Amino acid sequence: MNDSIMKGVGFGITSGTITTLGLMIGLYASTNSRLVVLGGILTIAIADAFSDALGIHISEESVNENSKHVWASTFSTFFVKFFTAMLFLIPVFFLELKMAIVAGIILGFILLGVFSYFIAKGNKENPVKVVSEHYLIAVAVIVLTYFLGEFVGTFFV
């Protein structure tokens, strides 16, 4: 896989996982509504996938990448981010909402862990260190968005 596509895949998996988990957990904590969580995931899958793809596109253009590499990064970011976010719909459709949130967290940790492991191996780094670092960031997002959702639910809903 060429570097441009790999950049999009890495960005798409990571952003798709962290952003979707944060949104799901925040919306769950503030509304406890399956409909709101579903709507949030669909919105993230579309709007944030386009936003991130454009961000990668402009970033790649700013370092004078050739057009083929720019578009490879752009499209791979969009499609991987979109499909990663859409994966989180599955537990929300088929499980009770609280269990869907737990399943989403497990799914997110699997996606991050597997991809982080392959990154570490490819860079000849310690996989435990790399995976742990990425998990720590995911836990921070989960905790912060949960309490932010609780705050919003308490004071604004």
Q: Are 21 and 104 in contact (CB under 8 A)?
A: yes
List pLDDT tens digits, range 12-28. 999 999 999 999 999 99
Give this prediction's pTM: 0.91
The C-alpha atoms of residue 128 and residue 120 are separated, in whole angstroms, by: 9
List pLDDT tens digits, range 118-157. 999 999 999 999 999 999 999 999 999 999 999 999 998 7
The C-alpha atoms of residue 110 and residue 96 are separated, in whole angstroms, by: 21
List pLDDT tens digits, range 58-110. 988 888 767 888 899 999 999 999 999 999 999 999 999 999 999 999 999 99
CA-to-CA dists, residue 49 to 43, 55, 147, angstroms: 9, 10, 25
Residue 94, classified by CB atoms within 10 Å of its CB into exposed (0-12), middle (13-18) or buried (19+), is exposed
Terminal-to-terminal C-alpha distance of the chain: 47
